[in-house]
Amino acid sequence: MLTITDLHASVADKPILKGLSLTINPGEIHAIMGPNGAGKSTLGYTLGGRPGYEVTGGSATLDGADLLELEPHERAAAGLFLGFQYPVEIPGVSFVQFLRESANAQRKSRGEEPLSGAEFLKLAREKAALLKMDMEMLKRPVNVGFSGGEKKRAEMVQMGILDPKLAILDETDSGLDIDALRICGEGINAIMRKPEKSVLLITHYQRLLDYVKPDFVHVLAGGRIVKSGGPELALTLEERGYEAVEGAGA
Amino acid sequence: MTVETLPTRAAEDWRYADVEALKALWPIAAPELVTVPAGGSFSRTILQTGGGVTRLSLVLESKATAVVHILNAGGPYARVEVDVLLHEGADFTLGGAQLAGEGETVEIVTTVTHAQPNATSRQLVRSVAAARGVASYLGKVKVERGADGTDGEQSVRAMLLDRTATANARPELEIYADSVKCAHGCAVGELDANGLFYLASRGVPPAQAKALMLSAFVAEAFDGAEEGDNLQAHAQALLEKALLEGKA
């Protein structure tokens, strides 16, 4: 699914990722944990193609396609979904309008027929219900006036509608109360835990992993993966902190 | 205002005009004069999408109301002038959107005179300028002696799609009365890069993402317009055309 090899990336000429390698197979859920400044969000943005995140070496492929050669919207059409830590507000543009354009732009680039208004609304209603979100909220401007928790649930609704192959979720758990955390976790499982799909969870804490059980956990520090293990690694990190584990891994 | 000879850019109201292009349109027609009787109402939609000069002059008798909506675009030069005289308690609202495509000059010029007390006026103008395009708004509000209780408001915003695009906003207040409220706000900016990346990350191609955001930006000008949907559809088509052609 996703193969990252010796990836180097800089932001404003400052190297952040320094030789990161990671392989995610179909059906797997991986979690990347790490201290502040380790490069976790940079990894998400670099794979998503955000302007200002410059790749200086290495490669990243999605099902064999060179991800780094594609424009951000082409990466989405290729099956990548990036869940934002801070979803962006877009005044005047409704979720329904935005998501229908998104879904149909992706379908068009894959040579599929566009969804009709009725087909799209049916799909949106179904995914909103999955995340216990009132359909009326999707008629409002994108993320404007939404609480932190509502924004994250709306991200998961988008993921459900766009139906990606690979989701990279950047701190989806931040800013969530206990109920919203559970709803988002169950949403991720319902949408993405399938043999042909994969997830990369970027997080600081164990708590999301109580709901979305990862198959692999990696520790990112200094722009590289310094330790990998099973789900038990997240528990060890929670108990002993990053410093102890990084020290052991180095 | 009557213009009998071809103006030059030394004239305040023509300082941002494309005088060369204006020559081709010369002579321009005198303003259409409309008097709205006391207590009456008037509304007008000015849809000028192929360039040209449109001029409207309104007199609102006491407690009359008027609403004007404008979509102004097209090259090489498109200008809309609206001149309004307000008597006691009259109310005037203008919502204008304009688009300067590549190398085009567009402008909206308003003069609102509060001649008597307690009249209200609002002008909201949203401009978009592509490469080497110039979009200007010149908005004058005059409050004459004794026109107390005047409430005037201007909201002017412009979006530049390229480093070579220009937006001019010139609010001008001439106030000769006490106890007057006149507010104006003005901002010139570029499309939010975070918003564009967010849309792209969901699969929306760049030109379409910009059209979506700009269409929301100009939509404010058509709030409450009788022909709002029609204006919005025209604006959207013009924006998409400008973005695809100009690769802005």
ipTM metric: 0.94
Average pLDDT over residues B36-59: 97
Between chain A and chain B, the number of residue pairs with CB atoms below 8 A apart is 80
Does A90 contact B202 at a Cβ distance shorter than 8 Å?
no
A118, two tokens = 């009725």
Average pLDDT over residues A66-70: 96
For residue A187, being part of any structural domain is answered with yes
DSSP three-state, residue B72: strand
- Residue B246: what pLDDT? 60
The Cα–Cα gap between B233 and A98 comes to 17
Average pLDDT over residues A42-68: 96
Please report residues of B whose CB lies closer than 8 A to that of A73.
200-206, 209
For residue A239, being part of any structural domain is answered with yes
Picking from A90, A92, A103, the nearest residue to B198 by CB comes out as: A90
- Residue B3: what pLDDT? 60
Average pLDDT over residues A233-243: 85
Nearest residue of B to residue A92 by CA position?
B216
A63, two tokens = 């099902």
Picking from A50, A51, A101, the nearest residue to B212 by CB comes out as: A101
Please report residues of B whose CB lies closer than 8 A to that of A83.
none
- Residue A76: what pLDDT? 96
Task: Give Cβ neighbours of residue A150 (< 8 Å, ≥ 6 apart).
Answer: A133, A137
% of chain B at pLDDT higher than 70: 98
Domain, as residue range, for A238 = 2-244
Question: What is the CATH number for A208?
Answer: 3.40.50.300
* Residue-averaged pLDDT of chain B: 93
- Residue A147: what pLDDT? 92
Task: Give Cβ neighbours of residue B84 (< 8 Å, ≥ 6 apart).
Answer: B57, B58, B59, B60, B66, B92, B110, B111, B112, B113, B121
- Residue A248: what pLDDT? 47
CB A218 within 8 A of CB A22: yes
How many residues belong to chain A? 250
Confidence bin at A246 (pLDDT 50/70/90): low
Chain B interface residues (partner A, CB cutoff 8 A) = 192-195, 197-206, 208-209, 212-213, 215-217, 219-220
Phi, psi dihedral angles at B149 (to 5 degrees): 75, 10
- Residue A241: what pLDDT? 83
Which amino acid, one-letter code, is at B107? E
For residue A143, being part of any structural domain is answered with yes
Rg (CA), chain B: 18
- Residue A110: what pLDDT? 87
Picking from B198, B205, B220, the nearest residue to A88 by CB comes out as: B198
Does B200 contact A90 at a Cβ distance shorter than 8 Å?
no
CA distance B107 to chain A (A): 24
CB A25 within 8 A of CB A198: yes
* Residue-averaged pLDDT of chain A: 93
pLDDT score of B248 more than 80: no
Question: Per-residue pLDDT tens for B105-147?
Answer: 999 999 999 999 999 999 999 999 999 999 999 999 999 999 9
The CA distances from residue A100 to A97, A116, B14, B128, B211, in Å, are 5, 9, 44, 25, 15
pLDDT score of A155 more than 60: yes
pLDDT score of A239 more than 90: no
Q: How many CB atoms lie within 10 A of CB A208?
A: 24
The Cα–Cα gap between A135 and A146 comes to 14
A81, two tokens = 């979904």
Nearest residue of A to residue B218 by CA position?
A92
For chain B, domain boundaries: 2-191
Domain total in chain A: 1
* Listed residue (B73, B61, B71, B65) closest to B43, CA to CA: B65
- Residue A206: what pLDDT? 86
Does A72 contact B195 at a Cβ distance shorter than 8 Å?
no
- Residue A3: what pLDDT? 97
Picking from B200, B213, B220, the nearest residue to A73 by CB comes out as: B200
Does B204 contact A105 at a Cβ distance shorter than 8 Å?
yes
CA distance B215 to chain A (A): 8
For residue A249, being part of any structural domain is answered with no
Interface test with B, best of A75, A88, A157 (most B CBs within 10 A): A88
The Cα–Cα gap between B205 and A106 comes to 9
- Residue B2: what pLDDT? 55
Does B203 contact A162 at a Cβ distance shorter than 8 Å?
yes
Picking from A89, A105, A142, the nearest residue to B208 by CB comes out as: A105
Question: Per-residue pLDDT tens for A178-209?
Answer: 999 999 999 999 999 999 999 999 998 888 99
- Residue A99: what pLDDT? 94
Confidence bin at A35 (pLDDT 50/70/90): confident
The Cα–Cα gap between A129 and B179 comes to 54
DSSP three-state, residue B210: helix
